[in-house]
Amino acid sequence: MIESLFVLSPTGKVIIEKHWHELIPRRVVDFFNDQVSKAMAEGEDVTREDVLPIIASPKYQLINVYRDGLTYLSPVTKEVDPMMVFEFLHRIPDIMQEYFGQVSETVIKENFVTVYQLLEEMMDDGFPLTTEPNSLKEIVPAPNILNKVITTMGATTSVSTRKMPHGMSNLPWRKAGVKYNSNEIFFDIVEEIDAIVDSTGKAVSCEAHGTIQTNSRLSGMPDLTLSFVNPRLVDDCSFHQSVRFNKWESDKVLSFVPPDGHFRLMSYRVNLPSQQNLPIQVKPSINVGANGAKFDITVSLRNTDGKPVENVVLTLPLHKSTTTLTAQCNVGHSEAAANAGYNIGVEFLINSHSLSGLKVDVLKLFNESYKPYKGVRTMTKAGRYQVRA
């Protein structure tokens, strides 16, 4: 049971609190703040991110998530599934992001009433209730300006305050009577590459985490079947509730009646072999001397099917004791700031490319007579991609 939530500002002040069950006194927040500062005082390199996500206090277990400067703290008194608490706590900023476009102390304060309503709808007596953004948006209207934008864009076709929520139709995720003039569905396949590459350019570990974000604008009750050219690539996957798991097990196709609007159809993981051709190669050469060090980092393109690589960012954190530093780039620009260790963080983005090679084949529609427009976009970008020097 998730009894209470405190959202804390970067300085540890309570921005908003919500008690779904009994009231838990604010004192607990002071204790929590003490523990956090104690943990951070242990070493100069210890940051807020390094503090344990579960802290024991005499009376409560303080389960907390730190995201974008804000702490989402949930003290629990009874044995609980911590994974569930974390999943739930992460939903809160996710949903605020959906609603307000960004999450910060100011945004929460500006939208107190909406946030309060959302927290009320997301949980009943300590048990998660409605956490699906599409359903929530029907119960709690998004703030006005955004609402207006959505209306002008024509996204909300038939929203009325008297409508039944999703949970009440036969398919809990889809409302009845959706109607569009032009029926379209868009699939965004985004792959993030997590990799550790050693100094010789060999991948020590490398995997692609893909998601298929879908925007469905289809009338009626469309029953879709999406197939891939090479579904067996996928090592592990999870689906939106609407996907019929048995069909995937037997035929490796996605068979589903989509929810209306935006949703994540599928996420998947592909283990890439260590001899995988990575899209870019980073060759560091480090010479450390007595009075300083010289880092030469060469970045070159490899294997992108001729697609351009965009937004390449290399981060080379240096030790805190670094006093001066100069950085030069042949292309692009550089910023200098000191921080630790010889590891290079790499970011990049390649449009219309999937590193794993997963490709959508056909989309078939049943149960409705129209012919939908299908749009597929792919994108590969660096996730947690590191080069060791």
Binders of another protein among residues 94 to 153 (CB under 8 A) are: 112-113, 116-117, 120, 124-125, 127-129, 131-132, 140-141
Q: Does 78 bind another protein (CB under 8 A)?
A: yes
- Per CB under 8 A, contacts with another protein among 284-343 are 319, 340-343
Q: Reduced to 3 DSSP states, what percent helix, strand and coil does the chain have, rounded to the nearest 5?
A: 20, 40, 40
Q: How far is CA 365 from CA 26, 215, 219, 220, 255, in A?
A: 54, 16, 12, 12, 10
Dist CA 354 CA 250 (whole Å)? 25
13 vs 352, beta carbon nearer another protein: 13
Q: Which of 143, 165, 220, 231 binds another protein (CB under 8 A)?
A: 165
| Shortest CB 369 distance to another protein, Å | 28
Cβ atoms of residues 159 and 260 within 8 Å: no
12 vs 172, beta carbon nearer another protein: 172
Q: Does 38 bind another protein (CB under 8 A)?
A: no
| Shortest CB 16 distance to another protein, Å | 6
| Shortest CB 304 distance to another protein, Å | 23
Task: Supply the DSSP string of 60-124, one letter for each residue.
Answer: -EEEEEEETTEEEEEEESS---HHHHHHHHHHHHHHHHHHHSS--HHHHHHTHHHHHHHHHHHEE
148 vs 373, beta carbon nearer another protein: 148
| Shortest CB 343 distance to another protein, Å | 4
Stretch that binds another protein, among 151-159, 236-244, 279-287, 353-361 (CB under 8 A): 236-244
Dist CA 216 CA 133 (whole Å)? 14
- Per CB under 8 A, contacts with another protein among 44-63 are 45-46, 49-50, 52-54, 56, 61
| Shortest CB 330 distance to another protein, Å | 26
Dist CA 173 CA 160 (whole Å)? 17
Cβ atoms of residues 222 and 258 within 8 Å: yes
- In the shown chain, the binding pattern of residues 242 to 281 toward another protein, with x for contact by CB under 8 A and - for none, equals ---xx--x--------------x--x-x------------
Q: Which of 167, 292, 308, 375 binds another protein (CB under 8 A)?
A: 167
- Per CB under 8 A, contacts with another protein among 195-214 are 196, 204-205, 207, 209
Q: Does 68 bind another protein (CB under 8 A)?
A: no
Q: Does 65 bind another protein (CB under 8 A)?
A: yes
Helices within 169-273 (DSSP H only)? 245-251
| Shortest CB 166 distance to another protein, Å | 10
Dist CA 239 CA 265 (whole Å)? 6
Q: Does 238 bind another protein (CB under 8 A)?
A: yes
Q: Does 16 bind another protein (CB under 8 A)?
A: yes
Pairing of β 261-271 and β 360-366: unpaired
Closest CA to 317 of 329, 307, 308, 327: 327
Q: Is the dihedral of CA 109, 111, 112, 116 positive or negative?
A: negative
Stretch that binds another protein, among 15-23, 322-330, 351-359, 363-371 (CB under 8 A): 15-23
Task: Supply the DSSP string of 331-355, one letter for each residue.
Answer: SS------B-SSEEEEEEEEET--S
Kindly state the number of chain residues that form the binding site for another protein, as judged by CB under 8 A: 76
Question: Could you tell me how far CA 288 lies from the centroid of its own chain?
Answer: 38
Stretch that binds another protein, among 157-165, 182-190, 253-261, 367-375 (CB under 8 A): 157-165
325 vs 340, beta carbon nearer another protein: 340
184 vs 286, beta carbon nearer another protein: 286
Q: In what order do the strands lie in the sheet with 253-256?
A: 253-256, 223-228, 360-366
Q: Does 177 bind another protein (CB under 8 A)?
A: no
Q: Is the dihedral of CA 31, 35, 41, 45 positive or negative?
A: negative
82 vs 231, beta carbon nearer another protein: 82
